[in-house]
Amino acid sequence: MLLTDSNFVKLATTIDKVVVYLDGARVYRSGKTDLKKGFQIVKIEGLTKHLLEDSVRVSGKGKGSLGAIDIETVYTEEVSHEALQKLIKEKEALEKELDAFQEQLAFTQRQSERMKILSEKFAQEFPQWFAAGETDLTNLSSFIDFESKKNTEFLKTIQKTNDKIEQLEKQLNTLQAKIDDFHISPHQERTYTISISIDAAQAGPFSFEVNYQTKRVSWKPSYDIDLQKEKAIIKGQAQIINQTLENWKDVSLEISTAVFKPLRVVEPTPFYIDIFVPYARPPPSPMALAPKSAVKKAYSKEARRKPDMAREAEEESIDALLETAKVELKESATGVQSFELSGKWSIPSDGNKHPVTLTTYELKTKKEFYWSSTDGLGVIAQDKITNGDAVILGGKAKVYSKGEFIGETILKKVAPREEFTLGAREEFKMKVEKKLLKRERVKSGLTKGKRAIMYEYELIIKNFRKEPSKITIKDVIPYSRSERIKVKDFNAGIEPKKSNLGIITWKLTVQPDEEVKIPYKFEVEWEKDYEITPPLP
């Protein structure tokens, strides 16, 4: 604290607490000083230009009363452009390093693609080698283990390279933001000063707390999810971006799902349809038909006003003591969740993402497998997870299987006790093969004036895992949208669970080292004077 003259006191404050919202933050500052008896003005200088003027609140402790609170805009001269040239050189060096890592990523991805081609070729040719007695199942198991190992190596390398690329991109974003600031404000920099009028009843120590909302802050949820046997460990994080121009050092941190932007109910308008008339004018929109007063009201300041953040102008006592916040997860009646984090946190205003752990969930899970005849990847493994009592916000998720990274995904918002699936990945220890056993034309004498083709297929499911596995099999047969084409006489060795629009679904449990076969057949019949599109296989 420095005394400027008998009427003004400069108060040095530190940031003690920050509440981060999805699109902003509330910053809490505190400071102490000695005041003499009588009227005087306390000034807090150098506050961020992103401060919202009408959000300022002041309170404190001392023998006196609080008067007017004024917000002043202060402009200072710009620093030398030598700093700008230094930033540009740093950016160019980082861009070269980023290019090198991107080339490494592309090379690893090409290796991974070659491995997939080799795997597909092996899957096609192994049955022939096995039937000819040129190999045995031991070689199949060895190849599956080799394939799994190589794919894991590729995933790890890709993940490490992506992490490095992400880190370099963060640094580039920070540099670019600083460079942009030079161009946006080429001559002056703006800050705010808060002037607090105090009528001290007696000389002595006074403490002040100032809090305000600021823009240029945001956070997004992200997750690390470790899929284990019969459970999923979900670690929720907040990726905080601070661009307020104020560094937060050793502050108490609270993360909230609230937003500055007000929400409103949007009423639907009628969806009119009519017979198309060439060259006719299109009907007017509902807003064009509405009275002008209604249009004006819809876009009035009242309909899009910001939350009420007017500062209090009346005098008040500043004897109140501030309460200490507890560390806990809170949920309001409106569904807003907030996380009060333990300890102290430091988040600089550099524009980078700074992760903080919010909570860890342990949820029940079941492993399921899926195969579709239209998917060239093969058998897909997924974990079906049942959520607990908390809402899981949507965000990016890095997925692991027993600590091994297996990929990234986007996690949608999950309601309490809702089921969701994660960890879609290729399962190399389960194989499904589709074979065409027979395709023949039905004799014309049996279908007078018509043509018909009979098909016989076989699905072969093999489980090389060491435990029983539930798998959903989906296959497709033709589905007719014309009365002149009929798909009939479908018959399967195992009754399907569901059949809809030509999509046939089986749900099976396959035992370890078991091979299950599903033969099925059907017939396509159509009037001979017509052509089927697209052509039949």
Domain boundaries, the chain: 82-184, 217-242+348-425, 430-527
Mean of pLDDT values over 234-242: 91
Report pLDDT digits (tens) over 186-236.
556 789 999 999 888 999 999 999 999 999 999 999 999 998 888 899 998
- Find residue 382's DSSP bridge partners: 368
Supply 359's token pair.
């909570």
- Helices assigned H by DSSP within 132-216: 137-184
Supply 385's token pair.
């997870």
Ramachandran assignment for 230, one of left (phi > 0), alpha (psi -120 to 50 degrees), beta (any other): left
Q: What is the pLDDT of residue 531?
A: 85
State the Cα torsion 29-32-38-40 to the nearest 10°: -50
CATH topology of domain 430-527: Immunoglobulin-like (2.60.40)
Amino acid at 223: Y
Where is pLDDT greater, at 208 or 442?
A: 208
Question: In sequence order, what are the residues at sequence separation of 6 or more whose Cβ sits closer than 8 angstroms to the Cβ of residue 146?
Answer: none
Is the pLDDT reported for residue 184 higher than 70?
A: no
Question: In this structure, are residues 398 and 405 in contact, taking their beta carbons and an 8 Å threshold?
Answer: yes
Question: In this structure, are residues 510 and 518 in contact, taking their beta carbons and an 8 Å threshold?
Answer: no
Q: What is the pLDDT of residue 272?
A: 59
Burial of 431 (C-beta count, 10 Å sphere; 0-12/13-18/19+): buried
Q: Which of 323, 236, 286 is nearest to 28 (CA)?
A: 323
- Euclidean distance between the first and final Cα of the chain, in Å? 86
Mean of pLDDT values over 35-43: 91
Where is pLDDT greater, at 189 or 427?
A: 427
Question: In this structure, are residues 94 and 172 in contact, taking their beta carbons and an 8 Å threshold?
Answer: yes
- Find residue 285's DSSP bridge partners: none
Question: In this structure, are residues 226 and 402 in contact, taking their beta carbons and an 8 Å threshold?
Answer: yes
User: How many whole angstroms separate alpha carbon 383 and alpha carbon 364?
Assistant: 10
Helix, strand, coil shares of the chain, percent, nearest 5, are 20, 45, 35
The region of weakest confidence among 62-66, 285-289, 480-484 is: 285-289
Model's pTM, two decimal places?
0.57
- Find residue 38's DSSP bridge partners: 200
User: How many whole angstroms separate alpha carbon 151 and alpha carbon 116?
Assistant: 9
The region of weakest confidence among 14-18, 245-249, 347-351, 435-439 is: 347-351
Mean of pLDDT values over 437-454: 81
Report pLDDT digits (tens) over 363-388.
988 888 999 988 877 898 888 899 98
Supply 443's token pair.
């004799």
Question: In this structure, are residues 235 and 248 in contact, taking their beta carbons and an 8 Å threshold?
Answer: no
| pLDDT above 70: percentage of residues in the chain | 81
Report pLDDT digits (tens) over 313-366.
333 333 332 232 333 556 555 567 888 888 899 999 988 889 998 888 899 888
User: How many whole angstroms separate alpha carbon 34 and alpha carbon 42?
Assistant: 11
Which residue reads 């999950």 in tokens? Answer: 414
Q: What is the pLDDT of residue 213?
A: 94
User: How many whole angstroms separate alpha carbon 376 and alpha carbon 378?
Assistant: 6
Please spell the DSSP secondary structure of 6-58, one letter per residue. SSEEE---EEEEEEEETTEEEEEEEEEEEE-SEEEEEEEEEE-TTB-GGG-EE
